[in-house]
Amino acid sequence: MSELPKLFSKIDELKPVFIDRLSKAVAIPSVSAEPERRPKVVEMANYLSEELKKLGTIVEFRHMGKQDGFEDLQLPPIVLGKLGNDPAKKNILIYGHYDVQPAALEDGWATEPFELVEKDDVLYGRGSTDDKGPVIGWINTLQAYQEAGIDIPVNLIFCFEGMEEYGSDGLDELIEIEKDKWFKDTDAVCISDNYWLGTTHPALTYGLRGVSYYQITVSGPGADLHSGVFGGTAAEPMTDLVHLFSKLVTSDGTIQIPGVMDMVAPVTEEEDALYEKIHFSVEELQNALGSKTNLFDDKKRTLMGRWRYPSLSIHGVEGAFSTTGAKTVIPAKVKGKFSIRTVPNIEMDQLDRCVIDYIDQEAKKLNTKNTVKAECLHAGNWWLSSPNHPNYVAAAKATKEVWNVEPDYTREGGSIPVALSFEKALNKNVLLLPMGRGDDGAHSINEKLNVPNYIQGSKTLGAYLFYVAAEL
């Protein structure tokens, strides 16, 4: 007989412990993009390692050397774990990340970002949904298995990284090194690091967009200048950058770079038929946006825009005046950042050539005396799988057990490049099993995880382990 009811009541009983565990994780500002916070990323690795060890997991750190582009900045450790070594059981590889995006109260957060605040059954805090909630969710479910006296039906292999939000520096190298060692006996992979499409219906995800991240550096004067003294006499880098930015994408989201859309796979009849039955509405998108500024008014085109067409986003400018006030400076050197979310069949190298050649050509047209340099800072490929594998069947059964509905089969607009890396290196099926909702505000202000998603989500992970043992 299924032991799941016993597991689920234990999870309900342990709810305060689980919230406390997440609260301790959120309190560590493990921001991978801020070098001065690197010690906090390491502290988070230690916290995770201690929590895993308390459950009997064997933990090892892998140090992948220094971070590219920095003279003396060590990468945070990749946390590897193993729980169980019964040769009669299947081996499930769990991946997650313990780093987070930057966050500051002055960005507009209603509460301190690095303090988990519970209000109206919602947990607010940086990393609550991306990805500390799901990572801690795995630990929660294992604790519940053990305290309920239920044998964990699979052996677990863990891989938790601390550089995901900065391009997963060192991870592909680690996978190459460990594919025949630590990850050797993997039978299937499960990643909980994305979101339901909307707010009500659980999902299993079988595709991801990739991301290629670019920087345009424009430099001229030897130092920042007084715009009254030098304005009208000097070529201004910011002016050139703004012109170049304006050539990348139109306000309706159309990418202007020649060659990019030519690489996009056409919509097949089979794909076209998938969208109608997905539980999602434009109103849900508007709620998640916090506005009615959606590009498309119909569900199908919106879903296509999120998961099967590329998009180009302009993120910001390093070196430019950006605070309140009215500083009259001419910045001497500015670095414009933008990224392209990629889809089948965009080739990353070809995309880089299209982007960099185009920016070079547009820069020439400006006839500027400033220097313009375009480069790709990091890139991860798109991934598309098929949800028919037993790994997905197990996750669907788990979802049905916990949420009483069949999951939607979705693709994700965000990127988790390691999904493809594991699939290629281990030749095993990869499943994405999201915990949070589409309106959780990952990467944004007031990031949150609803308590039901956290608790029922921990149950779903536990039920998945139960079913995958039987299905594989």
Ligand X SMILES: C[C@H](N)C(=O)N[C@@H](Cc1c[nH]cn1)C(=O)O
- Within residues 195-254, the interface with ligand X by CB under 6 A covers 211, 213
Contact residue for ligand X among 259, 320, 414, 451 (CB under 6 A): 414
- Of 259 and 414, the one with the shorter C-beta distance to ligand X is 414
Burial class of residue 226 in the structure, from the number of CB atoms within 10 Å of its CB (0-12 exposed, 13-18 middle, 19+ buried): exposed
DSSP conformation letters of 64-103:
--BPTT-SS-BPPPEEEEEE---TTS-EEEEEEE--B---
Q: What is residue 195's DSSP assignment?
A: B
Q: What is residue 298's DSSP assignment?
A: S
Site string (179-198) toward ligand X, x via CB under 6 A: --------------xx----
Q: Is 102 in the site for ligand X (CB under 6 A)?
A: no
Helix (H, G, I), strand (E, B), or coil: what is residue 343?
A: coil
Site string (363-402) toward ligand X, x via CB under 6 A: -----------------x----------------------
Separation CA 254–CA 274 (nearest Å)? 24
- Of 415 and 446, the one with the shorter C-beta distance to ligand X is 415
Q: Which of 13, 16, 25, 85 is nearest to 51 (CA)?
A: 25
240 is catalytic: no
Q: Is 193 in the site for Zn ion (CB under 5 A)?
A: yes
Separation CA 54–CA 17 (nearest Å)? 14
Diameter over CA atoms, the chain: 82
Q: How many residues line the site for ligand X (CB under 6 A)? A: 14
Convert 50-76 to b/e letters by CB count within 10 Å (16 or more is b). Answer: ebbeebebebeebebeebeeeeeeebb
- Tracing tokens 């930057």 back to the chain, one arrives at 102
The region of 67-75, 113-121, 186-194, 397-405 touching Zn ion under the rule CB under 5 A is 186-194
Separation CA 317–CA 221 (nearest Å)? 17
Tell me how far, at minimum, the Cβ of 53 lies from ligand X, in Å: 26
Helix (H, G, I), strand (E, B), or coil: what is residue 433?
A: coil
Separation CA 96–CA 192 (nearest Å)? 7
The region of 159-167, 274-282, 286-294, 322-330 touching ligand X under the rule CB under 6 A is 159-167
- Of 155 and 415, the one with the shorter C-beta distance to ligand X is 415
Tell me how far, at minimum, the Cβ of 409 lies from ligand X, in Å: 17
Is 130 known to sit in a ligand binding site?
yes
Is 328 known to sit in a ligand binding site?
yes
Site string (112-151) toward ligand X, x via CB under 6 A: ------------------xx--------------------
Q: How many residues line the site for Zn ion (CB under 5 A)? A: 3
Q: Which residue is nearest to ligand X (CB)?
A: 414
Distances (CA, A) of 130 to 97, 155, 195: 8, 25, 9
Is 341 known to sit in a ligand binding site?
yes
- Of 154 and 208, the one with the shorter C-beta distance to ligand X is 208
Candidate list 99, 131, 178, 471, residue with the active-site label: 99
349 is catalytic: no
Contact residue for ligand X among 51, 161, 165, 187 (CB under 6 A): 165
227 and 236 in contact (C-beta within 8 Å)? no
- Of 81 and 434, the one with the shorter C-beta distance to ligand X is 434
Candidate list 131, 164, 439, 471, residue with the active-site label: 164
Q: Which tokens belong to 437?
A: 């909702």
Is 172 known to sit in a ligand binding site?
no
Separation CA 272–CA 98 (nearest Å)? 36
Contact residue for ligand X among 19, 359, 416, 435 (CB under 6 A): 416
- Of 210 and 331, the one with the shorter C-beta distance to ligand X is 210
Separation CA 218–CA 230 (nearest Å)? 18
Tell me how far, at minimum, the Cβ of 256 lies from ligand X, in Å: 22
- Tracing tokens 């996750």 back to the chain, one arrives at 395
Separation CA 162–CA 336 (nearest Å)? 25
Question: CB within 8 A of 108, min separation 6: which ones?
Answer: 445, 446
Is 298 known to sit in a ligand binding site?
no
Contact residue for ligand X among 167, 207, 438, 457 (CB under 6 A): 167
Is 192 known to sit in a ligand binding site?
no
Tell me how far, at minimum, the Cβ of 326 lies from ligand X, in Å: 33
Site string (131-160) toward Zn ion, x via CB under 5 A: x-----------------------------
Q: Is 412 in the site for Zn ion (CB under 5 A)?
A: no
CA 457 to chain centre: 18
101 and 446 in contact (C-beta within 8 Å)? no
Site string (104-133) toward Zn ion, x via CB under 5 A: --------------------------xx--
Separation CA 81–CA 157 (nearest Å)? 6
Q: Which tokens belong to 455?
A: 């608790």
- Would you please indicate which residues are annotated as catalytic (active-site) residues? 99, 164
Residues forming contacts to Zn ion in the complex (CB under 5 A) are 130-131, 193
Binding-site annotation, residues for Mn(2+):
97, 130, 165, 193, 443
Binding-site annotation, residues for substrate:
193, 226, 328, 341, 415, 443
Residues forming contacts to ligand X in the complex (CB under 6 A) are 130-131, 164-165, 167, 193-194, 211, 213, 380, 414-416, 442
